A and B are shown apart, each in its own frame.
Chain A
């Protein structure tokens, strides 16, 4: 370990920095601090140094460069090392230049606005190319339709989601029944809990919860899969072979989401009704048969249509947003994460907006 043997700060002509032993990266912070503490004009005496690495050499080099220090007692090796590190003295920049002021804020806002606009136009364009893809598939279904890919997606998007959607819906059914019965009990109208469960799950919640689950499960997966394929140039490879990525990748995913969403929504409604039924049976003492009879009386068939008609539209939106964001990935792996997040946020947002539109629409055509 090096020792500072002399820091002659009272020297009439400045100071002398003399260390013995090693001057290397392990001692870099200390060495720099010691040198900074000494007044100019500075002389660095290297006669007692027996080992020096490039970091040590750099510290001495920069002291000479910045403070005009004089180096004495350097051996030939040390002189050549000092000269060598000097060759690598280039302007230092660590991060890209970014102005931090009002203009930067304005620029960021502008970038955000233009990016949002580009995304919206891009989504529209993607929607268009998907439609063209569909048209091509319909024109020549035997050659263009990829049955295997679609069936495989059915399994991933639909069948494998049954368990989690059943559990979620069942629990939500119980929660609605429990909360509803507590409130309705204040009016002595616990029996209307059944109306509440029946209508809210069939008309709204079954489809909405399924859409959110599918967006989280499959929409994100679509974006991540396509994004990764984009980075590994698989999609470019497809294009060069003459396979349209829209037909091979996007359309099977959209079909699977569109077909599976109504089925999963129906499944979700069923499970929520079972959950609610279990609660009213155990807590309010309404037996299952009565529960089913009441459901039959209070749920109009139009509620069922309201729930089911929305489902394929939501499925389409989720798959479209997922695939679109996936296809936008370029550059590094970090982008896959960002785009996947965007896909989920975008699709859930669009689903909820559309749900509101549907609610107004169905009410106005008299399906209340």
Chain B
């Protein structure tokens, strides 16, 4: 086991960091299989934190633990200053109101149109907002998600994969959240659409001052938009830092991941893009 420098230690809170999500000593297991053990992580206000890890390392389980869909065996999870462990759906509403979540496959409600999907969280938390303001809100959120105006009255089954993700993002943004969770936002998109989606996330993050927790496999996304990257391996976050910081570690998985052929290609293209 390589020793991790203090500033890359996941338990360490960086200087000037205002923690939005704090995970301490998290343990998750399904039967005999231990997914996470003694996992620590801190997400700071205003950053885009990318979470990477091999398949089956429990990236999505970590997300589910943080947003309260999965009750961990032990450990503490604090989001926006509130403990999220063991909270039922109808509890901690003031926290749920302040975050938005884009699920991997969009998870749009299939019987509602895109615009109605976006209106669901608004209607739930702010029943006082009536049409036409409500409809206009849905409409500008849809435009913000990068969809054309005629997407509003369409049903999810009529949308392409990329449009489903954008519609899911529009719904996640419905309540003007401070915190955005994205589960593999660019998976299944073509490179052009994926790059456009990265751009969209970055610009929204700047515009709306969002904190973004982003799970991804996409090396281009990591290079293009992530401020820090948390590496999930060996049942916990082994290090959190920028790509150059992580590359300085001689952990085999990190080296393989960032210095493998795809990792190099993504890094090169990003550097070219930055210098061009």
Chain A contacts to B: CB under 8 angstroms? 24-26, 28-30, 32, 53-55, 58-59, 62, 81, 84-85, 87-97, 331-334
Contact = CB atoms under 8 A, between A and B. Distances in A.
Nearest to A32: B133
28 contacts: A25-B129, A26-B126, A28-B133, A29-B126, A53-B176, A54-B144, A58-B136, A58-B137, A58-B140, A62-B136, A81-B207, A84-B207, A90-B140, A90-B149, A92-B115, A92-B138, A92-B149, A93-B139, A93-B150, A94-B115, A94-B116, A94-B135, A95-B113, A95-B116, A95-B153, A332-B110, A334-B110, A334-B111
Contacts of B140: 54, 58, 85, 88-90
Interface string B70-106: 0000000000000000000000000000000000000
B10 interface: no
- Which of B132, B137, B155, B156 is packed against the most chain A CB atoms within 10 Å? B137
A95 B115 contact: yes
Interface of B: 110-111, 113, 115-116, 119, 122, 126, 128-133, 135-144, 148-150, 152-157, 175-176, 207-208
Nearest to B146: A88
B8 to A, nearest CB: 34
Contact of B132 (A92, A95, A332): A92
B132 A25 contact: no
A94 B110 contact: no
Nearest to B138: A94
B263 to A, nearest CB: 32
Contacts of A91: 139, 149
- Chain A interface main SS type: helix
Contacts of A54: 140, 144, 176, 208
A94 B175 contact: no
B138 A30 contact: no
The residue among A25, A92, A331, A332 with the most chain B CB atoms within 10 A of its own CB is A92
A89 B140 CA distance: 6
Nearest to B116: A94
Contact of B110 (A32, A93, A333): A333
A93 B122 CA distance: 17
A97 B176 CA distance: 28
Contacts of B128: 28-30
A29 B130 contact: yes
